[in-house]
Structure 1
Amino acid sequence: MKKISILLVAVIAAAAITSCKNADSTSKATKDSAQVPTAYAYTIEHPDNWEIGSSANTATALSALKSWEKGKFDECVKYFADTTQVMFDGMDKKLSNDSLKVLLIGSWNNYKNVSVTMKDWESVIAKDKSEEWVTLWYVQYYDDGKGAKDSVSVINDVQIKNSKIVKLAEYTRKFH
């Protein structure tokens, strides 16, 4: 019985040592492959420039959208800087906070009601800390002024500086 116990302990010890060596080599291989530059099909000035950003920036972008969804425009514009660049299909303008509020109210007036189903978000910061962005992916459901129901897939890219939205780029795809 004593021989079996010694044999069992030896087998377990060997398995543990082998497992640790495999884990170390896997970890080393992962680190090595992360340092090998990838050959991309296109080149840009700053490849792989982004790191995970601030959850506070995500909260700012989400709160601004929620305020717009609920038709609370005074609250919504509080998340924006004094001047914001807005980029929608067919529009690229810098607007004062007051002009932005007028634009948001005008866009919402096309709807009887609106609801947003959030799909995902990502906050990123440039490695040199020069830019911070939040991207939101969501579906917007709405009833137009005539009562017709519809929906659109939306991506918002929001640049945040000093805890305020300074750029808003919106991309939409209507469902068929």
Structure 2
Amino acid sequence: MKRIHLLFLAPLLMAACQSKPTTETVAASADSALKLPYTLKKERVWEMNTDGHNLQTALNAIKAFEKNDTTAMKDLIADSIQVYYEGGEFKGKRADFLKAIKQEMDMYKNLQIDMEDWESVISKDKSEEWVGMWYKQKWQNDKGKTDSLQVYNDVQLKGGKLVRWVDYSRHYTPAK
């Protein structure tokens, strides 16, 4: 009876010992098989960032914006920051950014963020770390009219602080 078990066990052991292609090998062979219409100047290889500190920092920054709390935001931003938003950009010192964002935040009343998803990634060579966030933003203006945006933010972090904030937003079509 022991010999029969060994006969069944041998093929299983042989199959288990064979090397299988890694995810990277599969991805690389899949990319080489594709005929992509664009090429990148620099290969970008990203992986999920399992360290939750960047995600925590990015979400805390959005929460500080929602609560109009520049004091909380101050600790999350690097000495200088670049911000790109619909219709403009800001490049400068943290203190100047906080003054500008305070004016922006004062225009919103009853601001609410409805977070839909997020993703924290890090480049394979560990040179870049980003957090992407998808959410709906609702508020009232100074006349009490409600408005909303669908927003996607990409924030880059270095040393646990925000250094770049890219804001993409879509206005909703007014109801007829």
TM-score, reference length from structure 1:
0.80
Counterpart-to-counterpart distance in 1, 2:53 and 2:102: 26
- Structure 1: runs of 5+ lacking an equivalent: 1-9
How many residues are paired up?
A: 162
1:52 aligns with 2:48: yes
4+ residue stretches of structure 1 with deviation over 2 A? 27-35, 45-48
1:36 aligns with 2:29: yes
CA contact (8 A) 1:115 1:142 kept: yes
Q: Secondary structure at the match of 2:125?
A: coil
Counterpart-to-counterpart distance in 1, 2:20 and 2:56: 37
Counterpart-to-counterpart distance in 2, 1:69 and 1:134: 18
Cα RMSD (Å): 2.5
Shift of 1:51: 1.0
1:159 aligns with 2:159: no
Q: Secondary structure at the match of 2:116?
A: strand
Shift of 1:44: 0.5
Shift of 1:149: 0.6
CA contact (8 A) 1:87 1:170 kept: yes
CA contact (8 A) 2:115 2:136 kept: yes
Hey, what does 2:169 align to over in structure 1? 172
1:81 to 63, 78, 86: 78
Counterpart-to-counterpart distance in 2, 1:96 and 1:29: 48
**Cα shift readout 1:46-83 (whole Å, capped 9, x = no counterpart):** 34511112311010000011011011111112100011
Shift of 1:98: 1.2
Hey, what does 1:7 align to over in structure 2? none
2:147 to 145, 150, 153: 150
- Structure 2: runs of 5+ lacking an equivalent: none
CA contact (8 A) 1:57 1:123 kept: yes
CA contact (8 A) 1:81 1:97 kept: yes
Name the larger-Rg structure.
1
Shift of 1:94: 1.4
CA contact (8 A) 1:77 1:100 kept: no
Q: Secondary structure at the match of 1:36?
A: helix
CA contact (8 A) 1:159 1:166 kept: yes
Counterpart-to-counterpart distance in 2, 1:166 and 1:33: 34
Counterpart-to-counterpart distance in 1, 2:169 and 2:44: 26
TM-score, reference length from structure 2:
0.80
Shift of 1:28: 4.1
